[in-house]
Amino acid sequence: MHTDLRQRYEEDLALVRGFWGWFALAALVVALALLPFRAPGYIVFTVSLVAINAIIAVGLNLLTGYTGQISLGHAGFVAIGAYTAGILSGRLGLSWWVAWPAAGLVAALFGFLVGLPALRLTGPYLTIATLGFGIAVHQVLTNWERLSGGRMGLPVPRAMFGPASLTGEQRLYILAVGGAALLIWVAYNLTRSHVGRAFVALRDSDIAAEVMGINLTRYKTLAFAVSAFYAGVAGALFGQALRHLEPQLFTFFESIYYFAMIVIGGLASIPGAVIGAVIVTILPQQLSLLREWVPIIFGTAIILLMALEPRGLYGRWQRIRLYFTTWPL
């Protein structure tokens, strides 16, 4: 009798959770669709930045959270995407709809090249290699003035589409939120495919994965390329947000912020990456009076989370939800 009641309770609970889950999703979609036309421009711009950072965090989580390859030079991929789109649309006069995917593809190519050393380097050695790549990109952008404009920067033309009544913030919002929704959906399905399972196998053990028939060369370089593609696309959007690119926007500290997003939100979790992007994007704005302390705050948060909750805030939320849904009758 108790077993039957327990089963009915679990079935009813699943129905309720399913209903409220779809209801929350529908409410979120409606809110996001109305926000650029109802909210102040500052809020629209902030949400756009959250969406851009979410793209970067999701891509980095595919690399670090799912395959276990730590990258501390991800700002380099973002910079490559931003400058590629800026040069193609600004200097060569190409359409934004050509420059945007091109930015992702060029960044993916560099991601593939950076991923080649991953075949021989592991642990801290690979981390140092990615760190060196990020520093190298920053130095190239600073000193190769004919390409990047050097310290004077590179102006980025605004992407024009849709009705003339749309403001710049609204156009950016449509691109950023629409792009983030598409790429998050792709990442969600990727992690549940055979590619995602291969990534996890690589993270757990290279030797065991190879014994199971997983091609290490293919999947390690693929992880870097996919992650860099996400960063490059986000970089192109970042250029649209600022309309002027400078090398100082893509330093080592930016890579640390991207890494903080996935650690705080939750490694190996697409929702966790989004949660981390929201927190790391909005919190510094709220702590503007303590700007010098923001890196220390994030560094401390990373240490505490890695020590107390390695799965991040989303992992903690899952534990809480599991606790309440497994209460005895």
**pLDDT tens-digit readout, 231-243:** 999 999 999 999 9
CA dihedral sign of residues 164, 168, 174, 179:
positive
Tell me how many domains the chain contains: 1
Displacement of CA 107 from its chain's centroid (Å):
14
Do 238 and 78 form a contact (C-beta atoms < 8 A)? Answer: yes
pLDDT of residue 51: 96
Q: How many whole angstroms separate alpha carbon 192 and alpha carbon 207?
A: 22
* pLDDT tens-digit readout, 30-71: 888 888 888 888 899 999 999 999 999 999 999 999 998 989
pLDDT value at 17 more than 80:
no
7 found inside a domain: no
Residue 118 lies in a domain: yes
Q: What is the reported pLDDT for 1? A: 47
In sequence order, what DSSP letters do the residues of 275-303 get, joined into one string?
Answer: HHHHHHHHHHHHTGGGGGGHHHHHHHHHH
Say whether pLDDT at 81 is over 70.
yes
Provide the 10 A C-beta neighbour count for residue 301: 17
Q: pLDDT tens-digit profile of 166-188?
A: 777 889 999 999 999 999 999 99
Is residue 279 pLDDT above 80, yes or no? yes
E strand or H helix at 155 = strand 154-155
The range of the structural domain enclosing residue 189 comes to 41-251
Residue 47, Cα to own-chain centre: how many angstroms?
Answer: 14
Residue 290 has pLDDT above 70, yes or no: no
Within a domain: residue 153?
Answer: yes
Q: Is residue 100 part of a domain?
A: yes
Q: Work out the number of other CB atoms within 10 angstroms of the CB of residue 35.
A: 15
Residue 271's pLDDT is 92
- Residue 21: per-residue pLDDT: 61
Cβ pair 266, 157 in contact under 8 A: no
Angle value at C-alpha 82, between 35 and 102, nearest 5 degrees: 95
Q: Would the CA dihedral through 212, 216, 219, 224 be positive or negative?
A: positive
Mean local confidence (pLDDT), 1-5: 52
What lies within 8 Å, CB to CB, of 72 at 6+ separation is: 127, 130, 131, 134, 252, 255, 256, 259
Instruction: Compute the average pLDDT of residues 268-294.
Output: 83
Going from the C-alpha of 104 to that of each of 19, 82, 108, 183, 195, the distances in angstroms are 37, 9, 6, 12, 20
Partners of 154 in beta bridges: 245
Percent of the chain residues topping a pLDDT of 90: 46
Please indicate, yes or no, if residue 134 is contained in any of the structural domains. yes
**Structure tokens that stand for 315 in this block:** 């992992």
Q: Please give the model's pTM, rounded to 2 decimal places.
A: 0.90
Q: What is the pLDDT of residue 284?
A: 77
258 assigned to some structural domain: no
**Residue 153: its pLDDT value, please?**
86
* Average pLDDT of span 266-281: 92
Collapse the DSSP code of 63 into the 3-class scheme (helix H, G, I; strand E, B; otherwise coil) and give the result.
helix
Q: Give the residue from 69, 58, 191, 77 showing the smallest Cα distance to 119.
A: 69
Residues 6+ apart with CB under 8 A from 143: 150
Q: Which of the four pLDDT bands, split at 50, 70 and 90, describes residue 28?
A: confident
Alpha helices in the chain (DSSP H): 2-38, 41-67, 74-86, 96-115, 123-143, 145-148, 168-191, 194-204, 206-211, 216-242, 252-265, 270-286, 294-308, 312-325
Q: Does residue 315 lie in a domain region?
A: no
d(CA 93, CA 160): 13
Residue 16 lies in a domain: no
What is d(CA 203, CA 206) in angstroms, rounded to the nearest whole number? 7
Residues 6+ apart with CB under 8 A from 52: 176, 180, 234, 237, 238, 241
Using DSSP's 3-state secondary structure scheme, residue 245 falls into: strand
* pLDDT tens per residue across span 185-215: 999 999 999 999 999 988 888 888 888 888 8
Q: What is the pLDDT of residues 90-144, one digit of tens each?
A: 888 899 899 999 999 999 999 999 988 877 877 788 888 899 999 999 999 999 8
